[in-house]
Structure 1
Amino acid sequence: MASVIQSQKTALITGAASGVGFAVAKLCRNKGMHLALLDIDESNLTKTKLVLSDLDPNLKTEAYVLDVADRSAWKDIADNISRSFPEIDLVVLNAGRGYKPQIQESRGRMNPWLDTEYWSKTFDTNVFGPLNGLDVILPLILDSKSKTPKSIVVTGSKQGITNPPGGNNPAYNASKAAIKSLTEHLAHDLRSDPITSHISVHLLIPGWTWTGFMGNVGPNKEQDMKKPTGAWYPSQVAEELSAGLEKGLFYIICPDGETDRALDQARMKWGSEDVYEERPALSRWEDGWKGRAEEAIQADANARRS
């Protein structure tokens, strides 16, 4: 399927007011696309609409304030979207929040296993946010008179694959692992049904990217950002997404300034082998395995590069 990022097509993007969402929206606008922008941050969403409208006032730009975890709000906004945009060609469900578990008074430290609210908030945004979007946007695509190619992109995370341990990570990692699984099922189901086979599904997996998640808030000019040397700009992730859609990739895995594709592949391979090699869970970080894991991963990465 050809990429749907084309002039006069329409893109619907959540998390559009900053970071990767804004970068994807800007790329789509530069390609001549109409935009439906959704974000919980009303102030930055207003700025985003102005910035993107100014790039081409002849293209339609609508903004909708939305908490993706709010299912009823999704339904209300879907009605407005369907009235403004008779066709939606690209859907980018770009939801990702990380929360810190509360400090346990008796222990004086954060413990994710004693804070169910931490888990609930993370899954409400990171898992049910995209599911809520699919619940109301997928019917709009299916009801459209045109059967031209459409694409759905869901933003995942390498942490949902490599699963690095850490005090704040369990809920985030688990939520992104769930996103990987549900997006794989969605892709299979849609391409296997003749009625929906014109809808392609893609999992965007950014690398280390300097986004609003890390303090880069709002539709900032990238040259004004103060980012670490190894991190990518959000625009680089957007370009990688565009290239992945052109190639028809499902897994669109982005490198960054510190981790190339070969190292990503070697790390993911090691993690998957924990199961059938009968190693300890997360052996890459296990004291008795760290050295062997690092040596094997580096050797594998070097072999892939040669």
Structure 2
Amino acid sequence: MSVPSFAAVAPGKLAVVTGAAGGIGLAAARGFADAGMRVMLVDRPGKALEQAAASMDGTIALSADVADRTAMAALAKEVVDRHGPVSVLMNNAGIGGGGDVFADPAKWDEVLGVNLMGVIHGVQAFVPGMVEGEAPALVINTGSKQGITQPPGNTAYNVSKAGVKALTEGLAHSLRERTGSRVSAHLLVPGFTWTGMTAGRLAEKPPGAWTPEQVVALMMDRVAAGDFYILCPDNETTSEQDAKRIAWAAGDLIENRPALSRWHVDWRDAFAEFMRD
């Protein structure tokens, strides 16, 4: 992977990636390692994490549950005390499932604990030190298109990723107010991507899916360009289609349409016509 070099992503600097044992997190860790960075791979303990760290030079595996605030605070202290200031923080750990609003409350707790609180814990554990430092740094939080367009069927996941979007937007503003452009925040919004989450329900990579490496290549280019929203297409959805779907979702509020009108029986034809125009 060709990795652009810029202030926060440079040889010898330190990156921390959560959810780094597979998927987008592992591809990102490899991208940062390819740029010459020292990389801390954070995930739940297991063979996948150990193998990920062993597969690339300059990386260290660290076990932590991102849903545990105390564990993340201790992890941040250990990383900084032993390895120095963090230049890149990528809060990527995430799980699927959860179901609709009537699903098992324990599943809701699990999904929100990892997908939303895990990002909050990562930000609160690491970012104050990045703000207090003097070097360029950046934060990348992994969101989802489902957190923007809210397709029905998996409300718990949608809520978690909508929260990540709101959190990252607020973080970007706070960092801009406190540090100018020295520390920045970015929201990664993958498209259909072949990861462990999708592999659990599909036997092989579908033609429409991007690889994690494609997502990370786009992420690196967009972060280097200073983009906040990194909205990824895939092999079945173009950037133009994404833009129209997001515009329609916003139109529900502006035009006072029924919630999730894209999937509403009375509005499906209007949505289809909107996408054709």
TM-score range, shorter chain: over 0.9
The reply to whether residue 6 of structure 1 matches residue 10 of structure 2 is: yes
Aligned letter for 2:227? L
User: In structure 2, how many angstroms separate the alpha carbons of the residues matched to 1:32 and 1:248?
Assistant: 21
Aligned pair partner of 1:190 in 175, 178, 182: 175
Per-residue deviation, residues 162-189 of structure 1 (Å, max 9, x unmatched): 10001xx101001101110111000001
Preserved contact between residue 69 and residue 125 of structure 1 (Cα < 8 Å): yes
Q: For 1:113, what is the secondary structure of its paired residue?
A: coil
Q: How does 1:179-218 map to 2 (within 5 A)?
A: 179-194=164-179, 197-215=181-199
Q: How does 1:64-75 map to 2 (within 5 A)?
A: 64-75=62-73
Per-residue deviation, residues 118-151 of structure 1 (Å, max 9, x unmatched): 221111111100111112111332343xx22110
Alignment root-mean-square deviation, CA: 1.8
The reply to whether residue 257 of structure 1 matches residue 235 of structure 2 is: yes
The alpha-carbon deviation at position 114 of structure 1 amounts to 5.0
Name which of structure 1's ranges 13-22 and 84-93 shifts more when overlaid on structure 2. Answer: 84-93
TM-score when normalising by structure 2 = 0.93
- Determine the structure 2 residue equivalent to 1:164: 151
Preserved contact between residue 20 and residue 235 of structure 1 (Cα < 8 Å): yes
User: In structure 2, how many angstroms separate the alpha carbons of the residues matched to 1:99 and 1:253?
Assistant: 22
- Determine the structure 2 residue equivalent to 1:39: 43
The alpha-carbon deviation at position 206 of structure 1 amounts to 0.2
The reply to whether residue 148 of structure 1 matches residue 146 of structure 2 is: no
The reply to whether residue 127 of structure 1 matches residue 127 of structure 2 is: no
Q: For 2:55, what is the secondary structure of its paired residue?
A: helix
Q: How does 1:218-237 map to 2 (within 5 A)?
A: 226-237=204-215
- Determine the structure 2 residue equivalent to 1:177: 162
Name which of structure 1's ranges 246-255 and 39-48 shifts more when overlaid on structure 2. Answer: 39-48
- Determine the structure 1 residue equivalent to 2:249: 271
Preserved contact between residue 98 and residue 155 of structure 2 (Cα < 8 Å): no
Aligned letter for 2:53? K
Preserved contact between residue 8 and residue 138 of structure 2 (Cα < 8 Å): yes
Aligned letter for 1:23? A
Aligned letter for 2:36? G
Per-residue deviation, residues 227-246 of structure 1 (Å, max 9, x unmatched): 11110000000001101111
- Determine the structure 1 residue equivalent to 2:61: 63
- Determine the structure 1 residue equivalent to 2:88: 90
Q: For 2:73, what is the secondary structure of its paired residue?
A: helix
Q: For 1:127, what is the secondary structure of its paired residue?
A: helix
TM-score when normalising by structure 1 = 0.84
Please list every run of 5 or more consecutive structure 1 residues that lacks an aligned counterpart in the other structure.
Answer: 54-58, 102-110, 217-224, 300-306
Aligned letter for 1:212? G
Aligned pair partner of 1:136 in 125, 139, 149: 125
Aligned letter for 1:97? I
Preserved contact between residue 189 and residue 232 of structure 2 (Cα < 8 Å): yes
Aligned letter for 1:14? T
The alpha-carbon deviation at position 82 of structure 1 amounts to 1.1
Q: How many residues align?
A: 271
User: In structure 2, how many angstroms separate the alpha carbons of the residues matched to 1:255 and 1:183?
Assistant: 20
Preserved contact between residue 11 and residue 35 of structure 2 (Cα < 8 Å): yes
Preserved contact between residue 160 and residue 177 of structure 1 (Cα < 8 Å): yes
Larger-Rg structure: 1
User: In structure 1, how many angstroms separate the alpha carbons of the residues matched to 2:182 and 2:7?
Assistant: 12
User: In structure 1, how many angstroms separate the alpha carbons of the residues matched to 2:74 and 2:177?
Assistant: 30
The reply to whether residue 18 of structure 1 matches residue 35 of structure 2 is: no
Name which of structure 1's ranges 91-100 and 64-73 shifts more when overlaid on structure 2. Answer: 91-100
Name which of structure 1's ranges 81-90 and 279-288 shifts more when overlaid on structure 2. Answer: 81-90
Aligned-pair identity (%): 38
User: In structure 1, how many angstroms separate the alpha carbons of the residues matched to 2:93 and 2:250?
Assistant: 25
The alpha-carbon deviation at position 2 of structure 1 amounts to 4.4
Preserved contact between residue 12 and residue 36 of structure 1 (Cα < 8 Å): yes
